[in-house]
Structure 1
Amino acid sequence: MSLPVLDGDAVRRVATPRLVLDATRDALIAHAHGRTTVPPPLHLEFPEADGDCHVKAGRVDAGPDFTVKIATGFYRNPAAGLPANHGLVCVISARTGRVRAVLDDGGLLTAWRTAAAGALLTHAMARPDATTLGIFGTGEQARLQAEWLARLRPIGTVLVHGRTPDRARALCAELTALGLRARPATDREAAAADMVVTTTPATTPVLRADHVRPGTHVTGIGTDMPHKNELPPALLARAALIATDDHQQCLDHGDFGHAVRAGAVTADADTPAGLLLETPLHRPAEAVTVADLTGVGAVDAALASAVLGHLAEREPEAG
């Protein structure tokens, strides 16, 4: 029997937003309760090409599969008409060790699970009446964060801040086509929104802590390698609540870790993100809250297993 290699079109047929959101939420909750196996990620950097790669593995305990995922980001690619992100997921049976399938999806599931995790945490931690969204970044993930958050709550205006005005305008046009009201914004304007999401490969903070208003929630999703840093330590020092998707990962290469090393917060100042998805959050209206998301391998495993299970129902040879 040949190894099934499933492309992005096959994955899209079954990876509905509800499947992705549910699998991501359930896996983060399981991870918060210690019901996962997640080794440290492997990182590679390619400075000559402005690129990076991370390899993540993981399993939700008692799940049928584990996964090994390769995800790349080469940030000059868009100038050559290529996607900035790519990757694949290898799904392996946790009972036999045999490779069940390779999801050669071009990084689709990674992009969607990142969008789902960001949307779920932003929705859970923001004020119930928060409507304005500030986005830092102009790439695919910037669009996805706004799009997926809009699946969970109404968004009044999206304020897009990017280093390149033309790309900020282009993203606003994409969001407008999706039915969202969006406009380019300065860094100060975007940071003053009710909800802020940073989606960049920045190596220095992209916003100032004093531009963030009381009552704001901020989610950082771009600091997935040790050399990256989106949120200033002073912002985490202001936070009444800090959520991390993986405590040790975020200490090692998240914005939380940068804040700890700067002495802005203590190493035990964070709360597992999954706990905040499991139990509704009671937050003071004026509190600043922060989520630091670095990507958890067990979420990749849960989502890939869910996708493969649905594919197998439709196409038995994928099982």
Structure 2
Amino acid sequence: MTLPAFDTAAIKKAATPQLVLDTIRDALIAHAEGRTSVPPPLHMDFPEADGDCHVKAGWITGAADFTVKIATGFYGNPRLGLPSNHGLVCVVSARTGQVRALLDDQGLLTAWRTAAAGALITHAMARPTAATLAVFGTGEQARLQASWLAKLRPVGMVLVHGRNPHKANALCDELNARGLNARPASAQEAAEADMIITTTPATAPVLDATQVREGSHVTGIGTDMPHKNELPPALFHRARLIATDDHAQCLDHGDFGHAVRAGAAAQDGDIAAGLLLKAPVDRPDTAITVADLTGVGALDAALASAVLGQLLR
């Protein structure tokens, strides 16, 4: 028997934005309600190649499948003419243990899962009137976060801050071509936006907490290993509401964990992000809110299973 394998082209046709958003929303809620099985992720670091690898597994209670996913990020690859991210997903029957299919997505589903989670949480936690978005970072995820958030709410201006001016300008050109209004910005100007999403592999905070305005929302998605750090502990100290996609993971290797160890946030000072997707968030207009997303294997499982269902139709 030949194991079914699907390439990126087939996956792109099957995984519509609405399917991804609906699946990730439901999976975040399921995880928040304790209806998932998610072992601790495996991390490997390759400092000489400026790369890292994550192996994540997950299952939503009652689902027909579980998944094991390999995702890599090698950040010097663009200099070699290669994409930074790669990976594949193995879909396994939760009833027989047989491998059902391989999704050779080259990291696409991880990117879309991350984009959907970031957009959903940012939309839920930001003020209804928030319009200006700042992205820290100039890579694929910065583009996706801006594009996917715009599917959920009007985005009036996208401020792009990156270390490389050429890449910041290029991302702005791409976002403008997609119908958004984008321009490069300094770190201070970006930190003053209504909504801020950080999408970098940084090992030290990329913004100054004192520059974040009252009423702003900040989502960090890049701190997925212990040595990474995007958001300063002082930002969590200022926050009225802190959400995490997985409490234990964010304590172990998220920005929330850095804040707790610095004494800037209480260990039990967060709420599950999925719970905030079930009902409108109760937040004063002057409150600062923060979301720390480290990536949950159950979301990968749900998305891979949904996409495979479309592929096998």
TM-score normalized with structure 2 length: 1.00
**What's the counterpart of residue 163 of structure 1?**
163
Number of the residue aligned with 1:30 = 30
SS at match of 2:312: helix
Question: 1:121: how far off?
Answer: 0.2
The 2-side partners of 1:179 and 1:78 are apart by 26
Q: Which runs of 5+ in 1 are unaligned?
A: 314-319
Partner of 1:21: 21
CA displacement 1:2-26 (0-9 Å, x = unmatched)? 0011100111111000100011000
Once residues 13 and 133 of structure 1 are traced to their aligned partners in structure 2, the CA distance between those partners, rounded to angstroms, is 29
Q: CA RMSD in A?
A: 0.4
Alignment of 1:142 onto 2:169: no
1:73-152 aligned within 5 A: 73-152=73-152
Deviation at 1:282, TM superposition (A): 1.6
1:282: which partner in 2? 282
Deviations 1:175-200 (A, max 9, x none): 00000000000000001000000000
Instruction: Report the CA distance between 1:280 and its aligned residue.
Output: 1.1
Q: Output the amino acid matched with 1:29.
A: I
Number of the residue aligned with 1:301:
301
Is the aligned partner of 1:224 residue 2:224?
yes
Deviations 1:241-296 (A, max 9, x none): 00000000000000000000001011000000000001111210000000000000
Percent of aligned pairs with the same amino acid: 74
Task: Quote the Cα distance in structure 1 between the aligned partners of 2:73 and 2:310.
Answer: 28
Number of the residue aligned with 2:196: 196
Counterpart of 2:242, as a letter, is: I
What is the Cα deviation at residue 88 of structure 1?
0.5
Letter of the 1:167 partner, please give it: K
**1:65 to partner: Cα distance:** 0.4
Cα distance in 1, alignment partners of residues 28 and 120 from structure 2 = 10
> Could you say which residue in structure 1 is the equivalent of 2:262?
262
Q: What is the match of residue 215 of structure 2? A: 215
Quote the Cα distance in structure 2 between the aligned partners of 1:135 and 1:154: 16
Letter in 2 for 1:117: A
SS of the aligned residue for 1:306 comes to helix
The alignment partner of 2:83 has SS state of coil
* Aligned-partner residue type, residue 17 of structure 2: P
Structure 2 distance, partners of 1:10, 1:71, is: 19
Q: Does 1:179 align with 2:179?
A: yes
* Separation in 1, partners of 2:100, 2:35: 23
- One-letter identity of the residue aligned with 1:135: V
Cα distance in 2 for partners of 1:177, 1:80 equals: 26
Partner Cα separation in structure 1 for residue 45 and residue 270 of structure 2: 28
How much does 1:79 deviate? 1.4
Distance 1:118 1:78 in 2: 24
2:159, 2:37 → 1: CA distance? Answer: 38
**1:63 alignment partner in structure 2:** 63
CA offset digits 1:142-193 (Å, max 9, x no partner): 0000000000000010000000000000000000000000000000000100
> Which residue identity is paired with 2:124?
A
Q: How big is the shift at 1:89? A: 0.4
Q: Work out the CA distance in 1 between the residues paired with 2:51 and 2:138.
A: 17
Please list the CA deviations of residues 56-98 of structure 1 after superposition, one character each: whole Å capped at 9, or x if unmatched. 0000010000000000000001111110011000000000000
- Looking at structure 2, the residues matched to 172 and 57 of structure 1 have their Cα atoms a distance apart, in angstroms, of 35
Provide the rounded CA distance (Å) in 1 between the counterparts of 2:279 and 2:29. Answer: 10
> Offset of 1:297 from its aligned partner?
0.2
Q: CA-to-partner distance for each residue in 1:24-69, whole Å, 9 max, x for gaps? A: 0000000000000000000000000000000000000100000000
Match of 1:44 in 2: 44
The normalised TM-score by structure 1 is 0.98
CA distance in 2, matches of 1:198, 1:166: 19
Give the aligned length: 313
**Stretches of structure 2 lacking an aligned partner (at least 5 in a row):** none
* In structure 2, C-alpha distance between the alignment counterparts of 1:149 and 1:167, rounded to whole Å: 21
Counterpart Cα distance in 2 of 1:293 and 1:55? 16
State how far apart, in whole Å, the 2-side matches of 1:45 and 1:282 are. Answer: 39
The one-letter amino acid paired with 1:263 is: G
Q: Does residue 241 of the first structure (1) align with residue 272 of the second (2)?
A: no
Instruction: Kindly provide the amino acid, as one letter, of the partner of residue 56 in structure 1.
Output: K
What's 1:317 paired with? none
CA–CA separation in structure 2 for the residues paired with 1:62 and 1:191: 42
